[in-house]
Amino acid sequence: MHRERINEPGPDPMASTAPIKSAAAAIAEGTRQAMSADPSVFVIGEGVADPKRVFGTTAGLLEEFGADRVIETPVAESALTGIAIGAAMQGQRPILVHQRVEFALLAMEQLVNNAAKTHYVTNGVYTVPLVQRMVIGRGWGQGPAHSQSLEPLFAHIPGLIVAMPSSVEDAKGMLMQALVQQNPVLFLEHRWYHYRTGPAPDTPFTRPLEGSAILKKGRDVTLVGTSYSVYEALEAASILDQVGVSAEVVDLRMLRPLGLDSITSSVAKTGRLITIDTGWTAYGAGAEIIASITSDQFQSLKAGPVRLGLSDHPTPSSRGLTGDFYPSAQSIVEAACKMLRVGTDKLEAARNEALKRAEGAIPDIPNPAFKGPF
């Protein structure tokens, strides 16, 4: 293979008995523990001290550590990124928070030409131990400029580490691992992800910033998701089980470095591959995965791989348009049934089950308990 092989992260034995919490609470907890252990860690960004505390992910930090280490900032993203990079080069460990991934577009020169390259151009004399958290994805009709998933832009750049957790355990463990790296880590959180709940230890722990993870075993088709799309893939796999199709679900976890080992082993078994992006299909993570698998493992494929994601169109604001714009469990089910040439009766049964499970759901609202604008 032409790509470096990266080991799949194994299950954490602590997770099965760990307390249940939300991903937002896990991120806040991991941040608090890192700040308590290391005085060089500080949080900076727009909204880190506002009433909503970035979906609750910075809750309690200002009260515990004060305004010197939880810094609410003006709207000046390029300047903030430059400040964070400079602080990191001087031995600090900043966590720069963007409530929208689009805010980072105003600082791309800083990220691409400064953060990503400093280690290389100084021959390791300077490093940039920066963690930049960014919120991606849809919600609340915020449309073309404020609900995008732009992760491929960052994954394209050597020198950046790009993480996309989907489990609550990874929310905390990957963040705490990011905070001991010597090079910049971009930590991408889907805005619907913050409300997911699951087990994560209360004590500090880390999870590797490498490798994908198989979440459900299967024999007929491999479904690879990123971030929130992992949950749509798991729902689709549950529906497919009812019509006799066994789907294996893989959580990509990381875009850079891109670990393909678990995907490779899964496709060797199933012979079929469907990728589900949170962003646009064209030039996305799925495109890179499929190109690599097709190049390295063509002989294993029983059918042409399929990419699902957003169509080549700006993100709509209208709720009436969002239902068909985003990949869903139903669209994954239909793609898998078509790939496997499932009979009409089973296809109709699977489609009806998907519609039944989605009944009453509002495509653009993840959690009715959340009332704020962010």
Q: Tokens in use for 109?
A: 């020169």
Whether 77 is a known active-site residue: answer yes
Number of other CB atoms surrounding residue 68 within 10 Å: 7
Q: DSSP class of residue 161?
A: E
d(CA 122, CA 266): 40
Whether 134 contacts 227, CB under 8 Å: no
Q: Active site residue: 146, 189, 194, 334, which one?
A: 146
Closest CA to 16 of 200, 168, 196, 204: 200
Alpha helices in the chain (DSSP H): 23-37, 53-56, 61-65, 77-89, 108-109, 118-121, 143-146, 151-155, 168-178, 229-241, 261-270, 285-297, 319-325, 329-339, 344-358
Closest CA to 43 of 52, 315, 53: 53
Helical pair 261-270 and 285-297, crossing angle rounded to 10 deg? 60
Name the CA dihedral angle for 149, 153, 159, 160, rounded to a multiple of 10 degrees.
Answer: -10
Q: What is the CA 134 to chain-centroid distance, rounded?
A: 10
Q: Greatest CA span in the chain, whole angstroms?
A: 64
Whether 146 is a known active-site residue: answer yes
Helical pair 23-37 and 168-178, crossing angle rounded to 10 deg? 30
**Can you name the residues that pair with 73 across neighbouring β-strands?**
none
d(CA 78, CA 373): 24
Q: Active site residue: 77, 102, 232, 235, which one?
A: 77
d(CA 141, CA 78): 26
Helical pair 329-339 and 229-241, crossing angle rounded to 10 deg? 50
Residue with tokens 């308990």: 369
Number of other CB atoms surrounding residue 64 within 10 Å: 11
Number of other CB atoms surrounding residue 334 within 10 Å: 18
What is the rounded end-to-end Cα distance, in angstroms, of the chain?
43
Helical pair 344-358 and 229-241, crossing angle rounded to 10 deg? 130
Residues tagged active-site? 77, 146
